[in-house]
Structure 1
Amino acid sequence: MNFVEELRWRGMLHTEMPGTEDMLNKGMASGYIGFDPTADSLHVGHLTQIMTLIHFQRAGHKPYALVGGATGMVGDPSGKSAERNLLSEDVLQHNLESVKKQLTRFLDFNTGANSAEMVNNYDWFKDFTFLDFIRDVGKHITVNYMMAKDSVKKRLEGDTGMSFTEFTYQLVQGYDFYYLWKNHNCSLQMGGSDQWGNIVTGTELIRRKDSGEAFALTTNLIKKADGTKFGKTESGAVWLDAERTSPYQFYQFWLNTTDVDAKSYIRIFTLLDREVIEAMEVEHDAAPHTRILQKALAKDITIRVHGEAEYEKAIKSSEFLFGNVGLEFLGELNETEVVGIFSGVDNYKIALSDLEQGINVADLLAVKTSIFASKGEAKKMIQGGGAAINKVKIATADDVYTTDALINGKFIIVQKGRRNYFLVIAE
């Protein structure tokens, strides 16, 4: 199966320029995707493009990952309703190094002729003067051509307008393509469907400036079946950096995918074969409650992003909350990891000095925290056997808790009923 066919059956392909598939079928080709370093981590929204490069390399082609040290200073207007803040050079450099490190997890940079390569467009723009740029690049693309782009028209029709900086973004990205075509024999640029206008500006510049031929391919933008934005949770974006989104939270994001979305995501975000996926779909449809698709999806992506050990830890974390893994498991985790497990539940802070003196359990649950609305409600739940601390049922409403109850010297786990967890942090 060739590269385009692979994207097509996985539901990833959006548009390809005529002749693209024929060009790729002639032998090894070079193609690239750009990643602007607007943060010091990529997020799951970038995974579609990462997967595209992975499939490109697996099909025998040479992938280039372009990190936008130059374009990151400008800001891509595509899909944006307002101009984004420009980053300082120090912040941008930090982001670049972080993004580079993440990309090396997914692509093979040591596999012979089609080894992946990483390039930074700052390297060819840093000495490119403004006058040289408008003379050597700007003269080849008309304002009429640039104004016709959807990303430009939408902004001009809006209330905020568009700065000259953002208006020229397509020329800067177009020159990236020209430079890679000229110096790295890169004949294909890929990206999300919102990048089509910027990509074909590059193919047009190659044609007009050097009478060359280049090609374009875009993938579908990923949306949830209910129309909400993919990759967002109540706490914000789902990042690939474990410091921003813990491996447990990352795993849970995929595990909690709906049945409809899981059927789409397992094709897009995993490397499982078609036969394997189709067999899983049949099994899933026969017993949806087993969530076989979600489990396979979460496992595949969590291992590739965070590694086998973190995946196993995420499984144990889930079993701690919803299964039979004991309290000793938390002793294996650091503070960040413990907080990560309980990021989706209410957290409360109490003074360490209060525990040193000893706190009556009803006061702990209804005065020092608001886990219960009142001490009376707390006592009633305790008497009914429905409240637990550190996975042990509270014996009586007169029980007193001290620092001896702290896990890792910092945490107390409270349960109201079987599945309602709360995290108490002593400081």
Structure 2
Amino acid sequence: MTYRVKSDFLSVVVERGFLADCTDLQGLDEALLAGVVPAYIGYDATAKSLHVGHLLNVMLLRWFQKTGGKPITLMGGGTTKVGDPSFRSEERPLLTPQAIDDNIASMQRVFARYLDYGEGATGALMLNNAEWLDGLNYLDFLRDIGRHFSVNRMLSFESVKSRLDREQSLSFLEFNYMILQAYDFLELYRRYGCLLQMGGSDQWGNIVNGIDLTRRVLEREIFGLTTPLLTTSDGRKMGKSASGAVWLDAAMLSPYEFWQFWRNTTDADVGRFLKLYTELPVAECDRLGRLDGAGINEAKIVLANEVTGLLHGPEAAAAAEATAREVFEKGGVGEDLPTLALSAAEVGDGISVVQLIVRSGLAASGKEAKRLIADQGARLNDAPLTDPGLMLDAAALAEPVKLSAGRKRHALVVLADQ
């Protein structure tokens, strides 16, 4: 018989599609019903910003707080120095301590949009595992913690096994990562009474390690919950666009481009994404997801507005929609389009349209830009672009130039000196 959850948080998790697996669903449900439960998700500081691939679990933390839990965002100031080998084909490049600190400071701004770090029983905590990892004595750690881990079992985890099966190198440094992450869970329980670790389903082995370690060292039962690893209905990895990662920091991706990513959602994904990435009632998400024709396009605008509003604010979402309508419905330029500003020196006697397409982010390479032109997918000021050898001089750029790749991706090119 399938267990029916009773707590508010797990009801949301099940109903909205966040649940992939849980180590003890009934035990966790009972703990949530008994009082405020601290739970954490870990984030290594490998980039200056979180991206859309992180957003599912950020929303999970937000729901956790909204339903009475105490969320912990654990920044990997210590573990980033090692690097998570999970499903990586090669070792991550090692970052300096200063770069790690800078990345953490940048990521904190994104978390503050979704979580309340104020005082109180459910106030979120931002912690850094360097606090306990940086000062570890290696011999003591091996004796007290390392003895609880079986190398045979660690080799069986899919994240490690997949690397070894492909005969790809796995350094001893990376192999230590799963022990350090397990130790994080133990320390968070000791220091903050943290009962739950959450994460993507690729983190299942690491989460179970932490639960086993805490049981062995402290004889305490704690819990793990994972979310599904999302792909779009057409098989693409969630969070990737044609021009690269979809960053959550406005300095790395404009609110308009972020809005446009969601507006371009495949029809079949609209209902599912509304439930995962917005706070609209489930019945409304289902209703919008069932629409077709012009209706599903309006549902995509609702999705884009809701997700962008949570991250960048309702005003940014409204401005992005206004720009999109100006560009798509009226054929205009739109003030909020991604803009490439060129100096007169950069333009010189002329700059190729292929180079402009690449530099504006509409194509990843010159070869891709030329293919776009050959396939009749490129436009210049809304007119078909057919000549890959076209050069634009300062006179041609006296007014902003609009470049388009397909019907949905646009950018402006302007002279910065104007």
**Structure 1 counterpart of 2:67:** 59
Matched positions, count: 378
Q: 1:412 aligns with which of 379, 401, 416?
A: 401
**Structure 2 counterpart of 1:130:** 138
What SS does the corresponding residue of 2:168 show, helix, strand or coil?
A: coil
Q: Hey, what's the Cα distance between the residues in 1 that align with 2:345 and 2:245?
A: 29
Deviation at 1:133, TM superposition (A): 1.4
Deviation at 1:389, TM superposition (A): 5.8
Q: Hey, what's the Cα distance between the residues in 1 that align with 2:409 and 2:227?
A: 41
1:291 aligns with 2:283: no
Any stretches of 5+ residues in structure 1 without a counterpart? 356-363, 371-386, 392-400
How much identity, in percent, do the aligned residues show? 38
Deviation at 1:161, TM superposition (A): 2.8
Letter in 1 for 2:194: C
Q: 1:35 aligns with which of 32, 38, 43?
A: 43
Q: 2:57 aligns with which of 45, 49, 53?
A: 49
CA change 1:14–1:416 in 2 (3 A) is closer
**Structure 2 counterpart of 1:308:** 314
Q: 1:79 aligns with which of 47, 67, 87?
A: 87
**Structure 2 counterpart of 1:378:** none
Conserved in 1, the CA contact under 8 Å of 2:397 and 2:413? Answer: no
CA change 1:319–1:131 in 2 (3 A) is same
CA change 1:368–1:189 in 2 (3 A) is closer
State the TM-score, normalized to the length of structure 2.
0.81
Q: Hey, what's the Cα distance between the residues in 2 that align with 1:209 and 1:366?
A: 64
**Structure 2 counterpart of 1:250:** 258
1:24 aligns with 2:13: no
Letter in 1 for 2:330: N
**Structure 1 counterpart of 2:123:** 115
1:205 aligns with 2:213: yes
Cα-to-partner distance string for 1:39-65 (whole Å, 9 max, x where unaligned): 010000000110111111111011111
1:324 aligns with 2:330: yes
Conserved in 2, the CA contact under 8 Å of 1:269 and 1:301? Answer: yes
Q: Hey, what's the Cα distance between the residues in 2 that align with 1:117 and 1:367?
A: 48
Letter in 1 for 2:75: V
Deviation at 1:280, TM superposition (A): 2.5
What SS does the corresponding residue of 1:112 show, helix, strand or coil?
A: coil
Deviation at 1:416, TM superposition (A): 12
Q: Hey, what's the Cα distance between the residues in 1 that align with 2:355 and 2:63?
A: 54
Letter in 2 for 1:267: K
Cα-to-partner distance string for 1:246-290 (whole Å, 9 max, x where unaligned): 1111111000001111121111111111232233234x24x4555
CA change 1:98–1:389 in 2 (3 A) is closer
**Structure 2 counterpart of 1:214:** 222
Cα-to-partner distance string for 1:102-145 (whole Å, 9 max, x where unaligned): 11111011262111111000011111121121122111222223
Q: Which has the larger radius of gyration?
A: 1
Conserved in 2, the CA contact under 8 Å of 1:67 and 1:100? Answer: no
CA change 1:65–1:354 in 2 (3 A) is same
Conserved in 2, the CA contact under 8 Å of 1:73 and 1:87? Answer: yes
Letter in 2 for 1:3: F
Letter in 1 for 2:191: N
Conserved in 2, the CA contact under 8 Å of 1:350 and 1:426? Answer: no
Q: Hey, what's the Cα distance between the residues in 2 that align with 1:136 and 1:368?
A: 58
**Structure 2 counterpart of 1:96:** 104
1:219-230 equivalences under 5 Å are: 219-230=227-238
1:10 aligns with 2:2: no
**Structure 2 counterpart of 1:264:** 272
What SS does the corresponding residue of 2:54 show, helix, strand or coil?
A: helix
Cα-to-partner distance string for 1:186-207 (whole Å, 9 max, x where unaligned): 0111100010100010011101
Q: Hey, what's the Cα distance between the residues in 1 that align with 2:406 and 2:70?
A: 55
Q: Hey, what's the Cα distance between the residues in 1 that align with 2:235 and 2:407?
A: 33
Letter in 2 for 1:339: T
Q: Hey, what's the Cα distance between the residues in 2 that align with 1:231 and 1:54?
A: 19
Q: Hey, what's the Cα distance between the residues in 2 that align with 1:43 and 1:367?
A: 28
**Structure 1 counterpart of 2:370:** none
What SS does the corresponding residue of 2:195 show, helix, strand or coil?
A: strand
Deviation at 1:312, TM superposition (A): 2.2
Q: Hey, what's the Cα distance between the residues in 2 that align with 1:267 and 1:88?
A: 39
CA change 1:404–1:15 in 2 (3 A) is closer
Deviation at 1:83, TM superposition (A): 1.3
Q: Hey, what's the Cα distance between the residues in 1 that align with 2:249 and 2:345?
A: 29
What SS does the corresponding residue of 1:302 show, helix, strand or coil?
A: helix
1:150-165 equivalences under 5 Å are: 150-165=158-173
Q: Hey, what's the Cα distance between the residues in 2 that align with 1:114 and 1:369?
A: 49
CA change 1:234–1:207 in 2 (3 A) is same
CA change 1:415–1:41 in 2 (3 A) is closer
Deviation at 1:84, TM superposition (A): 1.1
Q: Hey, what's the Cα distance between the residues in 2 that align with 1:189 and 1:426?
A: 50
CA change 1:368–1:198 in 2 (3 A) is closer
Letter in 1 for 2:401: I
Letter in 2 for 1:265: F
Conserved in 1, the CA contact under 8 Å of 2:183 and 2:210? Answer: yes
Conserved in 1, the CA contact under 8 Å of 2:48 and 2:106? Answer: yes
**Structure 2 counterpart of 1:358:** none
State the TM-score, normalized to the length of structure 1.
0.80
Q: Hey, what's the Cα distance between the residues in 2 that align with 1:390 and 1:294?
A: 24
Cα-to-partner distance string for 1:321-351 (whole Å, 9 max, x where unaligned): 2133866x53xx6xxx6417x9xxxx99997
Any stretches of 5+ residues in structure 2 without a counterpart? 1-6, 358-378, 384-392
Letter in 1 for 2:149: I
**Structure 1 counterpart of 2:361:** none
Q: Hey, what's the Cα distance between the residues in 1 that align with 2:160 and 2:52?
A: 26
CA change 1:165–1:324 in 2 (3 A) is same
| CA RMSD in angstroms, aligned pairs only | 3.3
